[in-house]
Structures are given as C-alpha cells and as structure tokens.
Amino acid sequence: MNSFHFIKTTAILLLAALLLIHLTGCDGRPRRVPVTGTVLVDGKPLEGEIQGYVRFMPTAGGRSAQAALDKNGNFVLGNYEETDGCPLGEYKVEIQAFEVNGNRMRYLIPPRYGNPKTSGITVKIDKKGQAVQLKTEWTAKDSPWRKKSHVME
C-alpha cells in the first residue's frame, strides 16, 4: 500500500508542476498572447514619417509591453522579445508619435498621450490574438509644435 501512496503523491506533484509551467509559460515568464493594434488620431490612422512607440503599463504592476510604430501607426506588442505579445490583464497606455523637421518636432498626437497617467487610455487584454485601436484626438488647446531641444533631450 505504501508504494501506491508514493506513486499517487508523485503523480499529483508532477501534474501540479506541469500546470504551473503551463500557466507561467515554458520560459518561467508570464504567458503572453499576441496583440496588434493601430493608433488613430481624430478617427484616422497615423501616417507619414512617424517616430514613436506605444507602451502598455500593467495596472496591477509588473513588466510593461511596448512596440515601435510603423509608418501607418500600426504596432505589434512585445514584453520580453520584440513581438512576443503581452500577458492578459488591464493596462494604462502611453503613446508618443512625432515627426522631426530640422530643429523642431511636430507631434502627430497630443503630448498628453505620452504619459499613462494623463493619456486616459486603458486597454484590457483578455483573449489571444487581440487587435486594439488606440483612439486619440486633438483639442483647441493642444499644440503640435515643440522645439526639439525642449522635448528630446
């Protein structure tokens, strides 16, 4: 009877270990899901010579996921690798998108979106292969121009 108890206990511990590996990911990191998206300004995708990024900051704490923006304002999030997705959860979002013209920088979206505390954008990642649209808009008090040395140092 002792050998049966030993085998049963070992099997339960092995199953628990496999479940833990599955939930956290094989590499010991949180399980990540693919997330793609587009930044919209006033309802239209960004376009032009974009320099910028998006960053998803987990509201529960932890490592952020980020991505560079392409010329159409599209992105593919990465958490540990460039495009490995991000863990499920709720995120506050920061976005920077601008063009550089000589010694001046023109924001393509209002600068307030460059801070997760002031952007007002939150996203819940709750399924595999999620595509998100990050909607931004200009107001009368926003200025698209800043001196390069004033912002980019």
pLDDT tier at 150, thresholds 50, 70, 90: very low
Percent of the chain with pLDDT strictly greater than 70: 76
pLDDT value of position 3 = 66
pLDDT value of position 34 = 94
pLDDT tier at 26, thresholds 50, 70, 90: low
pLDDT digits (tens, 9 = 90+) for 38-51: 999 999 998 888 89
How large is the greatest C-alpha to C-alpha distance in the chain, in angstroms? 82
pLDDT value of position 36 = 96
Q: What pTM did the predictor assign?
A: 0.75
pLDDT digits (tens, 9 = 90+) for 77-126: 999 999 999 999 999 999 999 988 888 888 999 999 999 999 999 999 99
